[in-house]
Amino acid sequence: MRRIVPIFDFGYLAIRSAAAHLKKRSGKRSNLCGKDLVALASVQRGIPDQVVTAAQMASIKVPAISIVGTADPLLKRIEELKKVMPQLKIVTIEGATHSGDRGAVRRPGFVHTYRTF
The beta-strand segments (E) located in 17-115 are 64-69, 88-93
Q: Is pLDDT of 104 > 80?
A: yes
Q: What's the pLDDT score for residue 71?
A: 93
Predicted confidence (pLDDT) per residue in 64-74, tens digit: 999 999 999 88
Cβ–Cβ under 8 Å, residues 79 and 103: no
0.85 exceeded by pTM: no
The beta-strand segments (E) located in 3-111 are 64-69, 88-93
